[in-house]
Structure 1
Amino acid sequence: MKKNRLPAFTRCSMRGNLPQQGFALLEVLVSILIFSFGVLGLVGLQARAITLSTDAEDRNRAALLASDAASAMWLAKSVSAVDTSAGSPWQKRASAPDQGGLPNGAIAVKSAGANSADIVITWKAPSRAGTEQSSTFITRVTLP
């Protein structure tokens, strides 16, 4: 004789406790929240990396501009060979990013002795427009 048995699901529901099936909505929401924080962290790191890359590019341009000015001094055998007065070609080049210059850039040559001079290049990146903070690159040239 065969007993008439109910399926396991029905037996559990008759006792009042259902078997657990699937994820709870709360678990899914918590996992999405944790994933979102991870993505936001990566976006923040990417933005910081872009800023640092731009700063490094500006410092490289300043070094190249100072190197060009130092080369002009060496060729002329005089530390006063580079004219950095307002409107001079060196000032125009320093402030023209499309010609190897810097944003809001300026160049100055300050005497540091008989045959020595400091080349000072300053600029202000557009990302720092609201602050008074500017960047400076200084190199010294000493002729024999």
Structure 2
Amino acid sequence: MLSRRPTPRRAQAGVLLLEVLIALLIFSLGVLGLVGLQASAVKQSGQAKYRADATLLANDLIGQMWISNRTFESLSVDFTSTGAGGAKYNAWKARVNAALPGSGDAPPVVALARIQPLPAIVAGVQQAGTQLPTTRVTITMRWKAPGEAAGEPAHNFVLVNEIR
């Protein structure tokens, strides 16, 4: 028979403590990773809220344009951001500044352009002389989220729409 030599307990003293410390280190790194992931998720959800607000505000202005007198001249007077801006634009701009942080540094821009309308087509046949006047509206909004460094570029939202 082979005889086994028992290993002295002294040779293994402290191994269990070392295993526990290594397990604790791995667990701690995992917890730190989860905390970092949670912080990133909170930041991203805040940015998503501002993007959703910008979309809502831009679509609200487009809706106001659709229910107003939709001629290019009327839209230019009421909604353009050039000069002092129209009355409806200024009221909308105040709502944008209240909803989007840091948007006062770069006010929203509403640009209007008269575009060549396409000929009207009814039942596959082009109708002569029935072109609808069209205005292209471009709304640009910029904002900076709270806590972002001054050197970081501003967030940007652009909406282009045609109003007939």
Question: What is the TM-score when the length of structure 1 is the normalising length?
Answer: 0.76
**2: distance between equivalents of 1:27 and 1:117?**
66
Q: Does 1:61 align with 2:81?
A: no
Are the counterparts in 2 of residues 83 and 90 from structure 1 also a CA contact under 8 Å?
A: no
Q: Does 1:122 align with 2:122?
A: no
Candidates 76, 96, 101, aligned match of 1:94: 96
Q: Cα distance, 1:135 vs. partner?
A: 0.7
Q: Cα distance, 1:108 vs. partner?
A: 1.3
Unpaired segments of 5 or more residues in structure 1?
1-11
Amino acid at match of 1:104: G
Residue in 2 aligned with 1:108? Answer: 109
* Residues 58-79 of structure 1 deviation map (CA, whole Å, 9 limit, x = unaligned): 0000000001110111111144
Amino acid at match of 1:50: V
1:16/1:102 Cα in 2 relative to 1: closer, same or farther (>3 Å)? Answer: closer
Are the counterparts in 1 of residues 142 and 155 from structure 2 also a CA contact under 8 Å?
A: yes
Say how many residue pairs are matched: 127
Larger radius of gyration: 1
Residue in 2 aligned with 1:142? Answer: 162
Are the counterparts in 2 of residues 72 and 82 from structure 1 also a CA contact under 8 Å?
A: no
Amino acid at match of 1:113: R
Q: Does 1:75 align with 2:67?
A: yes
Amino acid at match of 1:92: A
Are the counterparts in 1 of residues 110 and 138 from structure 2 also a CA contact under 8 Å?
A: yes
Are the counterparts in 2 of residues 90 and 107 from structure 1 also a CA contact under 8 Å?
A: no
Q: Does 1:37 align with 2:29?
A: yes
The secondary structure found in structure 2 opposite 1:120 is strand
The secondary structure found in structure 1 opposite 2:138 is strand
Q: Cα distance, 1:132 vs. partner?
A: 3.5
**2: distance between equivalents of 1:132 and 1:110?**
26
Amino acid at match of 1:136: N
**1: distance between equivalents of 2:55 and 2:7?**
78
Residue in 1 aligned with 2:18? Answer: 26
Instruction: List structure 1 segments (4+ residues) > 3 angstroms apart after TM superposition.
Output: 19-23, 83-87
- Larger mean Cα displacement after TM superposition, 59-68 or 128-137: 128-137
**2: distance between equivalents of 1:16 and 1:63?**
73
Amino acid at match of 1:18: R
The secondary structure found in structure 1 opposite 2:50 is helix
Q: Cα distance, 1:129 vs. partner?
A: 3.4
